[in-house]
A and B are shown apart, each in its own frame.
Chain A
Amino acid sequence: MIVEGAVQAGCKFFAGYPITPATGIFKGMVDMLPGRGGLALSAPDEISAIAYAIGASLRGLKAMTATSGPGWALMTESVQFALMTETPLVIALVQRLGPSTGGATQGAQGDVLLAEYCTSGGYTIPVLCPATAMECYSLAILAFTWAEVYRTPVVLLTDKEIAMTSERIDDHALCPMTAQDRPTAKAGSAAYAFEFPQEIPGFRPVGGYEKVTVTGSAHDKQGRLQKNSPETVQVLRHLEEKIRWREQDFSVVESDLQAGAETLVVSYGVTSRAALQAVVRARAEGTAVSFLAIKSLFPVPKKAIVKALAGIRTVIVPEENLTGLYRSVLSSLFHGADVRGVNKVGSMITPGEILEAVKEVQ
């Protein structure tokens, strides 16, 4: 469904390298893109794959690559390049058990912070995290819109269970929209023209009528290498400011809050499906409990979280990693509440395990 979403979004270029559990996206793109006027290439490794995609995006095409943990590690230099050069790019990161080669056929939610914090300097990379086949489709389209409109790399974060499980969907319910396009540069303007740091500079394609220079080095608004001139520092601030300033535009959550509940379950990805089951069962047993499934992990949807916290004494964050990666990010928002994790590696967290944690609170 990620492939279907990407094609619907208007993706015209894909490059990949085989890696379980992301190979299905690679194969799907190879099968679908050429027939729709696109190009899908096999790269000799993940470093090349993402670089091909950046090249295609520099020309103005909606471009994507897909990988899993070990491949992501190789891609991070180019993810930073895309961020620095404001090159729109979607990377589907299908998590598997780590560290290192880990477990190719075992799911995990271990790359949450690896995806977000792969950049030197504390920049925000938008991360979308679908929990169902339908969301793989709709959030893939949204990922392209974000990448294009805000000129940034966007991570579509799934895991082995989401990417490799067959699910029934209603194809009439599929969103018929394509993704939005990147803003175009005015003739004669600077490569990274902005007056206020939050502005998104218009894009000028390589190989067009005007000369284009792009550099991953610190640069001025013309895209020319400069060390620490005030303008270069302005550009560096702008890279973060353009995302942070419109933080609320990135908020995608599903909240199911119950009046009088003092316990809130916060989850994401495949685990949020188990969490929802646990919440339904807890309510059936007469326990009041609120539920928040987060689809846009970064930028953190603070407003939605703060709203869900009203009257809450205990927050439970189930996630499939050792130490509660996303919990560590959210904990500063949970001031005063008792924060508990339900963590597991090697297999999925069951609704029963989450239910037990909910009951322990009561």
Chain B
Amino acid sequence: MGHVATSIDGMELVYERPRTLTDTPMHYCPGCGHGVVHRLLMEVVQEMGIQEKTVGVAPVGCSVFAYNYMDIDMQEAAHGRASAVATGIKRILPDRFVFSYQGDGDLAAIGTAETIHTVNRGENILVVFINNAIYGMTGGQMAPTTLLGMVTSTTPLGRDAAVMGFPLKMTELVAQLPGAYYVTRQSVHTATAVRKLKKAIRNSLEYQKRNKGTCFIEVVSNCPSGWKMTPKESNDWLEKNMFPLYPPGDLKVPRD
């Protein structure tokens, strides 16, 4: 763990890097939402004092390097299998806080079956689902969550429902399953959204102590490189185009 400053030139430090985040420059493209979500997760872990008791499972995709940044036990899984590996870990270590962190390709394409069955079993883990409607790591191909009409490298004329089907609303799908305990959709494109997401992460990890089922957070995020936009443009585009299909808010909240 790197040295953390408490003051700079005699001024009071009011905001700092959480000690649970390593002092490593991130590989993510400028403006990408991953870095913010990583930080929020680690802020919550620090605030709850559970750094030694938290285990994460990262996917194949852009966040394959998550272990470089999150200073907790961090595993990678085969493509699509993050929630399945998290299941094995949580079943053997039920007192740990276990989360999987997956993109739309990992969670909603190759890992769809794992996702549905993990939630259907009510695995007592947190699933963080980063939805940026594209395959970022391989250079911007159509994902299951790609919007209709959206241009990607494999939909050069825009996604056509007749050929490529409709955007998959995974969060709505899992919210119907009895094993789901808390299901919410958040984003990281504004300061307000970031605070709400942090609250949702905190709630999810608190709920994990109750052992009542799966917590599932979709984060509507961006991909400035894949979308061929500046970070600012991508955030504006996200609000205008992603939210009508993927509206932020809670889909299922605990009743007890």
Q: Which residues of A contact B (CB under 8 A)?
A: 16-20, 23, 26-27, 30-31, 41-42, 44-46, 70, 100-101, 104
**Residues in B neighbouring A70, C-beta threshold 8 A:** 60, 78-79
Q: Is the CB of B138 within 8 A of A42?
A: no
Count contacts between A and B, CB distance < 8 Å: 52
Residue in contact with A27 in the complex, picked from B109, B144, B154, CB distance below 8 Å: B154
Among residues of A, the one whose C-beta sits closest to the C-beta of B163 is A41
Which of B76, B80, B141, B154 gathers the greatest number of chain A CB atoms within 10 Å? B154
Residue in contact with B138 in the complex, picked from A20, A31, A46, CB distance below 8 Å: A20
**A-B pairs with beta carbons under 8 Å apart, 5 shown:** A18-B138, A27-B153, A44-B110, A44-B112, A45-B79
**B135 is an interface residue with CB less than 8 A from chain A:** yes
**B156 is an interface residue with CB less than 8 A from chain A:** yes
**Residues in A neighbouring B64, C-beta threshold 8 A:** 101
Among residues of A, the one whose C-beta sits closest to the C-beta of B108 is A44
**Residues in A neighbouring B135, C-beta threshold 8 A:** 18
**B142 is an interface residue with CB less than 8 A from chain A:** yes
**Residues in B neighbouring A26, C-beta threshold 8 A:** 141, 154
Among residues of B, the one whose C-beta sits closest to the C-beta of A45 is B110
**B249 is an interface residue with CB less than 8 A from chain A:** no
**Measured between alpha carbons, how far is A101 from B82 in the docked complex, in Å?**
13
A44 and B60 contact, Cβ closer than 8 Å, known pairs A18-B138, A23-B139: no
**Residues in A neighbouring B76, C-beta threshold 8 A:** 101
Among residues of B, the one whose C-beta sits closest to the C-beta of A46 is B110
Shortest Cβ distance from residue B223 to the other chain A in the assembled complex, whole angstroms: 13
Q: Is the CB of A23 within 8 A of B138?
A: yes
**B26 is an interface residue with CB less than 8 A from chain A:** no
Among residues of B, the one whose C-beta sits closest to the C-beta of A22 is B138
**Measured between alpha carbons, how far is A151 from B110 in the docked complex, in Å?**
29
**Measured between alpha carbons, how far is A17 from B112 in the docked complex, in Å?**
14
**Residues in B neighbouring A42, C-beta threshold 8 A:** 141-142, 154-155, 164
Q: Is the CB of A101 within 8 A of B60?
A: yes
**Measured between alpha carbons, how far is A1 from B80 in the docked complex, in Å?**
30
